[in-house]
Amino acid sequence: MKHYRRLLAYLRPYVWPHGAVAVACMLAFSATESAIPFLAKFTFDQVFTQHHSGALPFAVAFVLLAAVLRGGLDFGAGYLTDWIGQRVVTDLRNQLTAHLQRLDLAFFNRRRAGQIVSRVMADVTLVRATVTDALTSLFQDITRLLGLVAVAIYMDWVLALLAVCLFPVAALPIRYFSWQLRQTSRRQQEAIGRLNALLHENAQGNRVVKAFGQERYEEQRFNEHNERLFHIVLRASVIRSLPITEVLAGIAVAGIIWLAGSSVINGTRTQGAFVGFVITLFLLYEPFKKLVRTNYTLTGVDQAIEFHDVSFAYEPGEPVLRGVNLRIPVGQVVALVGISGGGKSTLADLIPRFYDATEGRITIDGVDIRGITLASLRSHIAVVTQFTFLFNDSVRNNIAYGEPSRPMEEVVAAARAANAHDFISELPRGYETHIGDLGVRLSGGQRQRLAIARALLKNAPILILDEATSALDTESEGLVQEALERLMANRTTLVVAHRLSTVRRADRIVVLVHGEIAESGTHEELLARGAEYRKLYELQFRDLDAPLGAPVTLAPRPRPVRQVAP
């Protein structure tokens, strides 16, 4: 939502007069469309049913007037929103180009030139759709929907009630295919970026290509990427063209026609009222279809996070995760263990959608996370990783990241819970001390405790710990582990760990081997099973004097309670 508000700020220079006139056209268009059913009712009742010859010229004139008004207003609204959208795109490109001129060489060394060009030229065009969709949904689709629903109720509340029950049948497939289209569009942008990068690289390195006689190889490489883009675009076309929603809506309307037509034949409804109502339904469908494409917001976690046959690959044909099925019940701690490269961190990254699953789906309380707005999803997740990122800012602002107005007492309380208050108090300016780039003026354990304090202050119901203590010495690890115990209390937690000592008390331990779940259970169950987990355990603890499976001296974790939606 924050990024969306920032994006809409680009609209401000164009609110007057272009924006105001566009909104006026949209509202007038909605009013004209709401009047069409009444025009149809008048025409059928007065001309075709009662044969009033004097009404015919009025009906013809009204139809022509409505057509001209509707077409003109739709053109005005469409042209002006496109004008505003294109102005925003132009401004963004100018700002991006100016920003690129100020970046150092390290930035350009890390990125391919073609991808930079693609970001400025291709990806920015997505902003245009976002801007125009926001304006159209707010001032045209919603007002059209409300106006036509009011007309339907006025004309025949019984049939309107029936339509309200039938129309949601079309909503589910619309939402599903809209989500599919969004994912395909994202892949299309990525494919265009790769193609641009390849073409740019080929043009720059053409001398080397010719010197090594690799023209055919480069041609084949480009053809493969281009073919992949073709299939992605074709998939988007298929999704856009599928008539499933129209068929379902047609079935719903056919049912209404059957019931209403029977009443017209029996004389309990007029032809004009019936035709006007049917026209209202068809006019309702378009704004209804647009509005149900909006993503859900997440209100909390009541049941579980679930992985359903999830597979993932960074590169096509090279899967990192394969068919993962996993349930993380609310309020419980589930740990992922395994050798390096087994896919543990990748699996954790899929929950906040740092990446999207290549196959399968991830749900929270049964809702696919790809149908939840990113802002809402990530606001419910706190992440603490091994590589803690801190800003070159004060301690307070790092803990209250993104929420600088949080009261000082809340910041201090979070720091105390994270075992960070004592060392912060000893800093030259306490909570106002600047900690340098990446927190360079602090030790590793201190940086980690600040990250935990930041997560505590966010108070998110879902917690992801990715190797949060693996790079610490024994003393620091003890303080951080104690802080993590407080952080995990009453939260739904996924722990990614290499050290098995940090996960023995998890509610469930899942062993990943080559991207697949090899086994799962409690620490004691997995040791007794004598399979993959026991091998890992013996590898790490074979030099310890303590007998295998001896209890650890950790404070008991607070009993998890059911998370209540915020």
pLDDT tens-digit series, residues 14-32: 888 888 898 888 888 888 8
Task: Compute the distance between CA of residue 52 and CA of residue 32 in angstroms, rounded to an integer.
Answer: 25
The pLDDT score that the predictor gives to residue 309 is: 92
Give the pLDDT band (50/70/90) at residue 327.
very high
* Whole-prediction pTM: 0.50
Give the pLDDT band (50/70/90) at residue 347.
very high
Q: Is the pLDDT of residue 542 over 70?
A: no
The pLDDT score that the predictor gives to residue 562 is: 39
Does any domain span residue 160? yes
Q: Is the pLDDT of residue 488 over 60?
A: yes
Q: Which of 503, 471, 508 is nearest to 484 (CA)?
A: 503
Does any domain span residue 126? yes
Task: Compute the distance between CA of residue 75 and CA of residue 84 in angstroms, rounded to an integer.
Answer: 14
The pLDDT score that the predictor gives to residue 449 is: 84
Task: Compute the distance between CA of residue 232 and CA of residue 186 in angstroms, rounded to an integer.
Answer: 10
The pLDDT score that the predictor gives to residue 153 is: 76
Higher-pLDDT residue of 350 and 29 is 350
The pLDDT score that the predictor gives to residue 509 is: 92
For the chain, give the percent of residues with pLDDT over 70.
Answer: 72
Give the mean pLDDT of 152-181: 68
* Average pLDDT of the residues of the chain: 76
Task: Compute the distance between CA of residue 383 and CA of residue 491 in angstroms, rounded to an integer.
Answer: 12
Does any domain span residue 560? no
The pLDDT score that the predictor gives to residue 544 is: 46
Q: Which of 123, 100, 128 is nearest to 113 (CA)?
A: 100
Q: Which of 130, 131, 160 is nearest to 145 (CA)?
A: 160
Task: Compute the distance between CA of residue 109 and CA of residue 116 in angstroms, rounded to an integer.
Answer: 11
List of residues 6+ apart from 329 with CB closer than 8 A: 303, 304, 492, 507
Higher-pLDDT residue of 550 and 109 is 109
CA angle at residue 493 from 490 to 499, to 5 degrees? 125
Give the pLDDT band (50/70/90) at residue 306.
very high
The percent of the chain in helix, strand and coil, each rounded to the nearest 5, is: 65, 10, 25
Task: Compute the distance between CA of residue 430 and CA of residue 410 in angstroms, rounded to an integer.
Answer: 15
Q: Is the pLDDT of residue 307 over 90?
A: yes
344, 512 contact by CB (below 8 A):
yes
Instruction: Summarize pLDDT for 394-419 with one digit per residue, the tens.
Output: 889 888 887 778 889 889 988 888 88
The pLDDT score that the predictor gives to residue 1 is: 47
The pLDDT score that the predictor gives to residue 131 is: 60
Most confidently modeled of 146-160, 211-225, 424-438, 492-506? 424-438
The total number of structural domains in the chain stands at: 1
The pLDDT score that the predictor gives to residue 128 is: 60
Structure tokens at 165: 């029950």
Give the pLDDT band (50/70/90) at residue 552.
very low
Does any domain span residue 448? no
The pLDDT score that the predictor gives to residue 167 is: 61
CA angle at residue 191 from 186 to 197, to 5 degrees? 130
The pLDDT score that the predictor gives to residue 324 is: 92
Give the mean pLDDT of 231-250: 71
Q: Which of 118, 135, 144, 154 is nearest to 41 (CA)?
A: 154
The pLDDT score that the predictor gives to residue 113 is: 61
The pLDDT score that the predictor gives to residue 133 is: 59
Most confidently modeled of 1-10, 221-230, 234-243, 262-271? 221-230
The pLDDT score that the predictor gives to residue 564 is: 35
Between 292-296, 463-467, 543-547, the lowest mean confidence (pLDDT) is in 543-547
142 is in which domain, residue-wise?
2-291
* DSSP tally for the chain: helices H, then strands E: 22, 10
Element (H, E) at 494: strand 492-496
* DSSP SS3 for 491: coil
Instruction: Summarize pLDDT for 184-208 with one digit per residue, the tens.
Output: 766 776 777 677 767 766 766 777 7
Other beta carbons less than 10 A from residue 218's beta carbon: 17
For the chain, give the percent of residues with pLDDT over 90.
Answer: 7
* DSSP SS3 for 81: helix
* DSSP SS3 for 6: helix
CA angle at residue 241 from 238 to 247, to 5 degrees? 125
Between 257-261, 293-297, 330-334, 486-490, the lowest mean confidence (pLDDT) is in 293-297
Does any domain span residue 454? no
Q: Is the pLDDT of residue 551 over 60?
A: no
CATH code, domain carrying 69: 1.20.1560.10
Does any domain span residue 180? yes
Q: Is the pLDDT of residue 530 over 80?
A: yes
Q: Which of 387, 343, 358, 314 is nearest to 496 (CA)?
A: 343
Does any domain span residue 389? no
Does any domain span residue 400? no
Task: Compute the distance between CA of residue 334 and CA of residue 443 in angstroms, rounded to an integer.
Answer: 29
The pLDDT score that the predictor gives to residue 11 is: 76
Q: Which residue has the tokens 């801190």?
A: 390
The pLDDT score that the predictor gives to residue 367 is: 83
The pLDDT score that the predictor gives to residue 470 is: 60
Between 96-105, 239-248, 258-267, 349-358, the lowest mean confidence (pLDDT) is in 239-248
Higher-pLDDT residue of 517 and 35 is 517
